[in-house]
Structure 1
């Protein structure tokens, strides 16, 4: 190779190096150039709980919250609703109606919830009902079985899944008639719910010839029922309707201790566990009928969910946990149906929905938010654990003895 060729080669090599460097720089630029910003996660759908976690109704209120949390975790784990997680903002009214109203307004105005759950006690629900219509935010009432909760012009008030007093008392009247009972005793709590049971059942029983009714009214916080029981004992009822939450179990125990053992109809919706803890083996000493049920505990779909609840939460899925679980799933289905988390659209979807799950009746609604096709499920205690892994090692299980046909929905007078 001639000496003249070396400069040419050097130029060629340098040119190649420069070209490679330029290409590498361009490649580096394209590789490191920031791409489009990742899509931020969608904000959660907020649901407010005006709970009753302390105070007279704490047993049911804390159970309801357990069911809510179980349902929310399950829904979010499976992808949420409309691609968004559900977030529940929890408050505690302590069972005080004015405090409940304050909390609801804060949930609406500050937290901007899409819907709310509340109204465990009837007094709280009656206070919240007009607030929901005024705010234009749907609220799912819980127990709150007084018919005064609903007005004919209510459009944002719905219930799930506990039935109203008039509907349940229809079923109770038919039961009393079928048994041929003529002496009916009643122990009721002195507040909206208890008084509703008293007035409604008495009006139905008046249509049954020869039926006598004796009523004793006790304060909500009463713990010593001796004087009330003595008066009822003198009447000697064949069946006693117990409408005294949250102290009804204590009244039953005192009644048994005083030697009074009529058939007892539990005319409210306590947890089975609550009754068992208060009465233990006494539940087998008398015919104790829980009349305010809304699902058959032998339903395979309930058993499947209750087994999962037991595995996740470490306890039995009782009535209060079912209430919270169903309420969240009802709202999730309504949001899907509405394809929106806007309160008004959720309200419209609830007005059209027919949601059943493992309940004994579908959750569908009259225009004012009352259940369209309610039924009642009566249960009794039986020895031994329930089927499957629902409550292993338990000394008892609930068994359905009667599921009513669809009952007539309540129509408010105004």
Structure 2
């Protein structure tokens, strides 16, 4: 690699220590900021580091000749590196990890504790020995009586509060999973519950949380709002349930957020199609509601950022479904972000995306607009026909859409040729392959590609809850809520999670990028947007 790259790495190690090499996501951000002209070497380095760390290598192992030979072959075999690229990455790492550098330590050594010894603490003026003893006996007895009554009242209130608090039962932390268990989405809900149970199995196998096992119980979430509220409140009368989790979106998410505040029980929402106001109470979020997925504004920001700055395109066209609330908000937000990032809107067309609508006129207008990128926001069921309409109308430039899954590739069809996709979670992402493998091992079947995103979010939601229970100062809802709110750089399977206290959602969370060089998509990397509002 170029000397410039090595100097950037040496400076990063000087500033942040060797441990920065064991955090590829963070390292990727620094390299993008400090070495923007070498995006390909940056990607190869961080991609290789992820693989090496997952394979058991650590910074403290250095890069010996044996290790270099081993990983040179593995990078070529498993990641598609050429021999020269693999050697280049390993030589660069060998250069920056020199023997004289400090090792990467997991814990910092603390300073010596201050021990109280006679003579090393300053005397405090006005101690108890100086208190005057001139109070009359009757007055003193009266005050003692008041103090005794106040103490008894405080004890009564304390016992009442303790009796009404939620507490673990036996050796279990209980979590309630609310999802529609009937109707057309029942199978998807079951797959999400199974993914959540997989997380529970893995947590408990490693000893649980603070000596407690996690137990997750699934409950049906009725379709009607009034029935859903009645059902949730009935279930939550059980004081042993400490946290709620749900894939419910929009109306049901707002309903459950309100209930969570009413009963002071934290709620984690795993839905990936929430609007920016779904869990907001006016301008502020509900106190006890949190979401793990990006909302429409964050998704729109990523679409605009990747189109204008990731692909270096300025002329942007939109085709969107104005009848869908989520897609409409996504579109409106994307328009704003395109302008912020320096793009220009050449065409902005709405249409009915359901059924067999004819989009030829719209696509002809887009083709004539001179657009370099056509953005189709939202996860459209008929996305293949939309892209084919665009190609038939003469549009040959880039298509940028959302929600690519592995089962969308169809034989020799080339409709998706040259298209790019932004996903909250991609079933092609190597980072989640181990979770999908464990799912298959536990349940003896694969998770359907259409359910991978929601299943992984449910899995990571439980892992996030377990992390909050571990770090919380107690078992009350307030303590768990503060632990969720203070989440920083939590390593979820699909991305690193930091919570924004202004929204109770992810702060600048990375999203998966997929490219279709032909019909079949290939995972590229996870990308973060610029941290601007």
**TM-score over 0.5 for the pair:** yes
Structure 2 distance, partners of 1:215, 1:57, is 31
**Any conservation in 1 of the 2:487–2:497 contact (CA below 8 Å)?**
no
**Any conservation in 2 of the 1:182–1:212 contact (CA below 8 Å)?**
yes
Structure 2 distance, partners of 1:56, 1:189, is 25
Is 2:301 the partner of 1:173? no
Is 2:464 the partner of 1:330? yes
**Any conservation in 2 of the 1:138–1:346 contact (CA below 8 Å)?**
yes
In structure 2, the CA distance between the partners of 1:298 and 1:263, relative to structure 1 (3 Å rule), is same
Q: 1:185-224 counterparts in 2 under 5 A? A: 185-188=318-321, 190-207=323-340, 208=342, 210-218=344-352, 222-224=354-356
Secondary structure, in 3 states, of the residue corresponding to 2:382? helix
1:147 deviates by: 0.3
1:380 deviates by: 2.8
Structure 2 distance, partners of 1:297, 1:153, is 33
1:66 paired residue number = 194
Unaligned runs of 5+ in 1: 1-40, 384-394, 410-414
Secondary structure, in 3 states, of the residue corresponding to 1:249? coil
1:386 paired residue number = none
1:181 deviates by: 4.3
TM-score (normalised: structure 2): 0.56
Is 2:290 the partner of 1:158? yes
2:515 paired residue number = 380
Structure 2 distance, partners of 1:335, 1:257, is 51
1:131 paired residue number = 259
1:305 paired residue number = 435
Structure 1 distance, partners of 2:346, 2:332, is 14
1:28-74 CA-to-partner distances (Å, cap 9, x unmatched) read xxxxxxxxxxxxx8253221222245567667544422311211222
In structure 2, the CA distance between the partners of 1:66 and 1:398, relative to structure 1 (3 Å rule), is farther
Q: 1:358-369 counterparts in 2 under 5 A? A: 358-369=493-504
2:61 paired residue number = none
In structure 2, the CA distance between the partners of 1:351 and 1:326, relative to structure 1 (3 Å rule), is same
In structure 2, the CA distance between the partners of 1:75 and 1:372, relative to structure 1 (3 Å rule), is same
2:388 paired residue number = 256
1:389-410 CA-to-partner distances (Å, cap 9, x unmatched) read xxxxxx966412551245447x
Structure 1 distance, partners of 2:178, 2:285, is 23
Is 2:371 the partner of 1:243? no
Structure 2 distance, partners of 1:324, 1:402, is 19
Structure 1 distance, partners of 2:213, 2:459, is 16
1:6 paired residue number = none
Q: What RMSD in Å do the two structures reach over aligned CA positions? A: 3.5
2:154 paired residue number = none
Secondary structure, in 3 states, of the residue corresponding to 1:148? coil
TM-score (normalised: structure 1): 0.71
Structure 1 distance, partners of 2:315, 2:186, is 36
Larger radius of gyration: 1
Q: 2:401 aligns with which of 248, 258, 266?
A: 266
2:422 paired residue number = 291
1:184 deviates by: 1.0
Number of equivalences: 347
1:28 paired residue number = none
Structure 1 distance, partners of 2:454, 2:332, is 26
1:19 paired residue number = none
Structure 1 distance, partners of 2:255, 2:264, is 15
Structure 2 distance, partners of 1:397, 1:111, is 47
The one of the two structures with greater contact order (alpha-carbon pairs below 8 A, sep at least 6) is 1
Structure 2 distance, partners of 1:46, 1:283, is 49
1:113 deviates by: 2.4
Unaligned runs of 5+ in 2: 1-168
In structure 2, the CA distance between the partners of 1:351 and 1:266, relative to structure 1 (3 Å rule), is same
1:357 paired residue number = 492
